[in-house]
Chain A
């Protein structure tokens, strides 16, 4: 017990004269002309998929093609919240599996992803929001997920800094409390998967965009890149923010609109906010990172755009509302703002699994929730690719559910869902 408490892994660093690097991302190799599986995109989902393809299905001849740098898209831009308190049973089961995988990732990777259980509070400021919170709590509990609807006294006890005034436009009437809600170091998740996948044989090729997709008789054959043509038996795309653009190369359209999602952090403060706080009515969420920064965001931008530009109005709106929740933070400062691109679906559930093109698979429609789904996406997509059959957990998220009028209505829980 005691030795395990000591960070003994750090001892060699101190005692060795020379730094012994642990190479996480292997040096780039030459691009082969054929692979078993090509994964378009080098973010968390793609890397996780490669990892589980190798670990669970023995498929190691996998090539990950990333147009920029490793995990530099939405994986690098999200606010790293993990939770499973969804509204639909389909969503709850899926994200609960993700959360379970997350809990063991540091151990699996031998690499600390700084997974930190903080407790997640979705504040309700209207009767309707209280109802939705109860709905989510009831669905969660029925499926074994720890969630509860709590009321102002309890909220005040657990989050003493929140303004509980009822003389405001959005008084806090209740909250969905989800104790397992967590944060983690987003980059570390991707790096862990990258190391795991590459150690088992997968190749990561950065700065290698896909410029075309080879399809013969409705079956995918490979992809085009500036570094040459790459053939593959199976191809998956996991390119949040460019989903429709890549799918268009494969010849199909999706129920997706791509909309920027912005976030910002404060200058580091001594830790005071242990919880993750979300307010749908106020379009705000906030948590405090392991560096002491307040990590904050809101809802998606008001219109579609393929750009990660930032706006001033985002900050104005966000901080105005932030001070309604935490009025004492007026003198705290914003350090940096940025944006990612969210692929929004009509029902706020993902689009995963098979596509109209044979042997071409898709992992998309993550909206604002891609990070928390990373492990389960990797696991279920690996299964789907290996067996050419959608994993049970993702069957409800099939593309044709829209024309079948069988949507998975997660939207009710998600005016701002982080």
Chain B
């Protein structure tokens, strides 16, 4: 079966399964390929050569590497933009479209930018459009529209796919399953080390799958089969194929992406056998469809059974080009000629075979230009010319007929991962390549990334690196294998395959459409350092991140500035090695939310839940539309009757031990040494800089036991701070964060005693026996409870803390017990109103990141004679400095004025002196009450100050002593 006009018969196409046809669409056209095809191979097989349009000039582009290393084949696949068509396998129904075109893919109006290319020099956007604000205003949207490649799927409002993550662990991780990596894995697994071998390909082998190592072309596949079998036989090697390692992070932390999963692999030692990346020759039209790397053509032929063209010219500077020529001939593709940059072509098995096949070898020649066919959709020929010197060509052009030009002029190590780990690279004057110089600990390089180019050398290098990695991970077996005698790196890479053309279109960077002269001109503009040139010209900043342009850019800068390549390096390679989907990085959303024991009861009662730190709390009970009625109603129930609020989220700390009181003395501003057992006392915490950070209540249940509450969002920090301080003080005290262990409610209102008494046998709740700020351990509805007569709301009330697993039962019991009184749950919003009527502050709402105890007007909470408390020394200093603001209670001078909103400003003239921190129209008092920072000179009751409210209007606040409601606090002490 031969789906496609350019499909070659078996045995070509090792990675496709001809028994299964798969149909998909490209630009609306139905295309048929085989299972195993990539989008690009299927398109080429069907004669669809142009796959994408270039970034700036919208030039037609096609396969360059066939290895996902370039951006010439970026396509839109359904909702996925910027998809590598030469990597992405086809699936039935896949909807593939071209990217970055205006009008239609075939008739892209954007291609006309090329006509004005002369007017768009390097960095043109810096050089113009700014003369007047009008000019930039007009041009910016146009330039902006031109930007970008693929399209995000904006119609969707959901995650497209299920992505997840998994941790992996290995003694040795081998990255790259080419010959060196395969051998490295086997060598590393010689003992009992657990080895993971990661490879991008559909099957292991790397270049063994497609390259030609000997004249008859069998050596690669035989070696591959042998190694593959050996690896499969090893129980301590796990193969992750079709997987790409995108980075190498601290302490051998490797992200590996396979299908919809991100693996995070921790290895004790790593072998990077990541191979090398073929490098282009720079000549005119070197970017057009039909010009590709020799290895790309070999991949098309051998892996996918696709004929890359009908008549080829091979530009070579190494033997691999000859191997490729033999592959072409085997596939029935005519080879017009070999142009070899080298003056002398070595005589060996491969070159001799090419000669024997009757192919003309034109030594000492480069390609000056590829001839573009109609619409530049395909090349129709090549102009070869004699190499005169470095980058210069002599007269004597020869036109060579072809629709395919293969480039085999050299490589650059795929050292990205090594770069991520901080490996230094040094330029090797003999091989004309950068090679890893100093490797960080636990990291080993093998194969062509490490300059071992000859197959035997790569195998030997892999054996050595695998053995070393295993030893590094603590697994020694046998003697250390020797390094390869001759790595075979010399003679594979040409030092200057760059032949600029007068008429341009000689691309150094395909991603960014940068021509030779763009780099030269950028250097002339003064950006004569590789990093600066990168930023100015954008060379290497495109989707392939300089995989094919970085080395050329360094060569060009070096020559232009007269700097030696030894003293230069390619620009820093940053992760990821290849683009990673947001979905892969995000994975499953792990966003813990804490729910109290009564959570479902609240939902059943129609509560609107709101986040409070990590927790969910009921804001109020009822529909959103009724909010403005519900909250005052909840307030009124508490004031007149009885209400129940879930306070489980309040922090709780058990502080126990002989030094418990001393510890609290140091942690809080007040004094606790003389606090009686069975009584509660306010706690206020400041940090060492004297800033108010938390508050709560300390209950003394035993001489050596305080139960301390903390704010919902503050308790974890408070707990951690307590442990930190005591790690230094070494007091004999134990602190336990028991927040989650206790569910809590506050039953509040004049009828709360009656309700509670009903379910609280054996405790005398009378005012005498259980006064305000009293506390006891008792049973409520049969549940062991810590009962405290405290509250935020200023009514008779009891806070009841019970084991969390019995919290729902407590709630049920109290709601049932209060039935006849009409008990009603109230939420955070009503509580905020109630507390404000009492003038209680909420730390972090009525205080901010700099509020001192003096500014908060809480001098009453500061013990003056203690030897020390955290923040005390700063508070002393602050006390000596004049206050700049003061927190006061206020009401409105004019009853008709609106209620200011929280954070409306307090002004003195035009100067900002403070802000409203809390304000509400009190349902109990039917007037506005609030707290605000005012200028200290306005801090006394009766003083008036300006508040700027919505619309810029100013209204007048009057400083008012609080509590606003029940100023004598009689109700809470009933």
A and B together in one complex: yes
Known A-B contacts A89-B912, A112-B129; the reply to A169 vs B147 at CB < 8 A is no
In the complex, what residues of A have CB within 8 A of residue B360's CB? none
Which chain A residues numbered 160 to 207 have a C-beta less than 8 Å away from chain B? Answer: 161, 163, 169-170, 185, 187-188, 191, 206
Known A-B contacts A9-B128, A336-B574; the reply to A187 vs B912 at CB < 8 A is no
Residue of B nearest to A161 (CB): B154
9 nearest interchain CB pairs?
A292-B148, A21-B524, A333-B579, A14-B119, A330-B583, A292-B147, A106-B130, A319-B585, A25-B526
- Decide if A110 is an interface residue (CB 8 Å cutoff): yes
- Decide if A151 is an interface residue (CB 8 Å cutoff): no
- Decide if B582 is an interface residue (CB 8 Å cutoff): yes
Which chain B residues numbered 134 to 156 have a C-beta less than 8 Å away from chain A? Answer: 134-136, 138-140, 143-145, 147-156
Q: Other CB < 8 Å A-B pairs besides A315-B585, A333-B82, A336-B576, 13 of them?
A: A25-B528, A111-B127, A142-B905, A188-B126, A309-B250, A310-B420, A320-B589, A328-B79, A331-B79, A333-B581, A347-B849, A405-B852, A412-B848
CA separation between A306 and B128, bound complex, in Å? 38
In the complex, what residues of B have CB within 8 A of residue A312's CB? 247, 249, 253, 255, 264, 575
B102-118: CB near A (< 8 Å → 1, else 0) gives 00000000000000101
Known A-B contacts A131-B845, A142-B910; the reply to A336 vs B545 at CB < 8 A is yes
17 A-B contacts, Cβ less than 8 Å apart?
A5-B135, A8-B131, A9-B128, A14-B118, A19-B517, A25-B526, A25-B527, A70-B532, A128-B845, A132-B903, A267-B543, A268-B148, A268-B150, A320-B589, A332-B152, A332-B581, A333-B581
**Is A323's CB under 8 angstroms from B121's CB?**
no
Q: How far is the CB of B204 from chain A (nearest CB, A)?
A: 25
Known A-B contacts A267-B543, A411-B849; the reply to A26 vs B151 at CB < 8 A is no
In the complex, what residues of A have CB within 8 A of residue B877's CB? 405
**Is B535's CB under 8 angstroms from A271's CB?**
no
- Decide if A72 is an interface residue (CB 8 Å cutoff): yes
In the complex, what residues of A have CB within 8 A of residue B912's CB? 89, 139, 142
CA separation between A141 and B904, bound complex, in Å? 11
**Is A328's CB under 8 angstroms from B157's CB?**
yes
**Is B527's CB under 8 angstroms from A269's CB?**
no
Which chain A residues numbered 27 to 46 have a C-beta less than 8 Å away from chain B? Answer: 27
CA separation between A291 and B513, bound complex, in Å? 13
In the complex, what residues of B have CB within 8 A of residue A334's CB? 576, 579-582, 585
In the complex, what residues of B have CB within 8 A of residue A132's CB? 903
Residue of A nearest to B147 (CB): A292
B244-263: CB near A (< 8 Å → 1, else 0) gives 00010110010100000010
**Is B130's CB under 8 angstroms from A112's CB?**
yes
- Decide if A409 is an interface residue (CB 8 Å cutoff): yes
Which one, A15, A329, A412, contacts B152 given CB within 8 A?
A329
- Decide if A216 is an interface residue (CB 8 Å cutoff): no
Which one, B130, B147, B250, B903, contacts A107 given CB within 8 A?
B130
- Decide if B120 is an interface residue (CB 8 Å cutoff): yes
CA separation between A320 and B262, bound complex, in Å? 13
B509-546: CB near A (< 8 Å → 1, else 0) gives 00000000100110011111101100110100101010
CA separation between A16 and B836, bound complex, in Å? 76
Q: B interface, how many residues as a size bin?
A: 35 or more
Residue of A nearest to B247 (CB): A312
A249-277: CB near B (< 8 Å → 1, else 0) gives 00000000000000000111111100000
- Decide if B91 is an interface residue (CB 8 Å cutoff): no
Residue of A nearest to B585 (CB): A319
- Decide if A324 is an interface residue (CB 8 Å cutoff): yes
**Is B247's CB under 8 angstroms from A333's CB?**
no
In the complex, what residues of B have CB within 8 A of residue A7's CB? 119, 124, 128-129, 135, 139
Residue of B nearest to A20 (CB): B524
CA separation between A272 and B151, bound complex, in Å? 8
**Is B690's CB under 8 angstroms from A405's CB?**
yes
Give chain B's interface residues, CB within 8 Å of chain A.
55, 79-82, 100, 116, 118-121, 124-136, 138-140, 143-145, 147-161, 163, 165, 247, 249-250, 253, 255, 262, 264, 420, 422, 517, 520-521, 524-529, 531-532, 535-536, 538, 541, 543, 545, 574-576, 579-583, 585-587, 589-591, 593, 610-611, 689-690, 844-845, 848-850, 852, 874, 877-878, 881, 901-905, 907, 910, 912, 915, 948, 952
CA separation between A6 and B874, bound complex, in Å? 62
- Decide if A304 is an interface residue (CB 8 Å cutoff): no
The number of A-B residue pairs with CB atoms under 8 Å apart is 305
In the complex, what residues of A have CB within 8 A of residue B545's CB? 335-336
In the complex, what residues of B have CB within 8 A of residue A309's CB? 249-250, 422
Which chain A residues numbered 84 to 134 have a C-beta less than 8 Å away from chain B? Answer: 89, 106-107, 110-116, 125-128, 131-132, 134
- Decide if A327 is an interface residue (CB 8 Å cutoff): yes
Which chain A residues numbered 366 to 414 have a C-beta less than 8 Å away from chain B? Answer: 404-407, 409, 411-412
In the complex, what residues of B have CB within 8 A of residue A25's CB? 526-528, 532
Give chain A's interface residues, CB within 8 Å of chain B.
1, 4-11, 13-15, 19, 21-27, 69-70, 72, 76, 89, 106-107, 110-116, 125-128, 131-132, 134-135, 138-139, 141-142, 161, 163, 169-170, 185, 187-188, 191, 206, 266-272, 289-292, 309-312, 315-316, 318-320, 322-324, 327-338, 346-347, 404-407, 409, 411-412
**Is A322's CB under 8 angstroms from B582's CB?**
yes
CA separation between A309 and B538, bound complex, in Å? 22
Most chain A beta carbons < 10 A, residue from B580, B590, B874, B878: B580
**Is B901's CB under 8 angstroms from A134's CB?**
yes
In the complex, what residues of B have CB within 8 A of residue A332's CB? 81-82, 152, 581-582
Most chain B beta carbons < 10 A, residue from A27, A110, A135, A406: A135
Known A-B contacts A1-B134, A19-B121, A69-B531; the reply to A330 vs B874 at CB < 8 A is no
Q: How far is the CB of A271 from chain B (nearest CB, A)?
A: 5
**Is B535's CB under 8 angstroms from A323's CB?**
no
Known A-B contacts A312-B255, A322-B586, A333-B82; the reply to A11 vs B119 at CB < 8 A is yes
**Is A330's CB under 8 angstroms from B587's CB?**
no
**Is A9's CB under 8 angstroms from B127's CB?**
yes
Residue of A nearest to B592 (CB): A169
CA separation between A334 and B82, bound complex, in Å? 11
Q: How far is the CB of B3 from chain A (nearest CB, A)?
A: 28
In the complex, what residues of B have CB within 8 A of residue A89's CB? 912
Which one, B529, B583, B589, B852, contacts A69 given CB within 8 A?
B529
Q: How far is the CB of A199 from chain B (nearest CB, A)?
A: 12
Q: How far is the CB of A17 from chain B (nearest CB, A)?
A: 10
**Is B153's CB under 8 angstroms from A331's CB?**
yes
In the complex, what residues of A have CB within 8 A of residue B952's CB? 141
Q: How far is the CB of A347 from chain B (nearest CB, A)?
A: 7
Known A-B contacts A111-B126, A114-B125, A135-B915; the reply to A267 vs B134 at CB < 8 A is no
Residue of A nearest to B875 (CB): A405
**Is B915's CB under 8 angstroms from A206's CB?**
no
In the complex, what residues of B have CB within 8 A of residue A141's CB? 952
CA separation between A187 and B850, bound complex, in Å? 36
In the complex, what residues of A have CB within 8 A of residue B79's CB? 328, 331
**Is A330's CB under 8 angstroms from B581's CB?**
yes
Residue of A nearest to B619 (CB): A127
Q: How far is the CB of A61 from chain B (nearest CB, A)?
A: 22
In the complex, what residues of B have CB within 8 A of residue A8's CB? 128, 131
In the complex, what residues of B have CB within 8 A of residue A289's CB? 147
CA separation between A70 and B529, bound complex, in Å? 9
**Is B148's CB under 8 angstroms from A320's CB?**
no
**Is B125's CB under 8 angstroms from A112's CB?**
yes
In the complex, what residues of A have CB within 8 A of residue B845's CB? 128, 131
CA separation between A406 and B126, bound complex, in Å? 43
Q: How far is the CB of B606 from chain A (nearest CB, A)?
A: 16
**Is A331's CB under 8 angstroms from B524's CB?**
no
In the complex, what residues of A have CB within 8 A of residue B878's CB? 405
**Is A272's CB under 8 angstroms from B154's CB?**
yes
Residue of A nearest to B530 (CB): A69
CA separation between A76 and B529, bound complex, in Å? 14
In the complex, what residues of A have CB within 8 A of residue B135's CB? 4-7
Which one, B119, B583, B690, contacts A13 given CB within 8 A?
B119
CA separation between A332 and B161, bound complex, in Å? 12
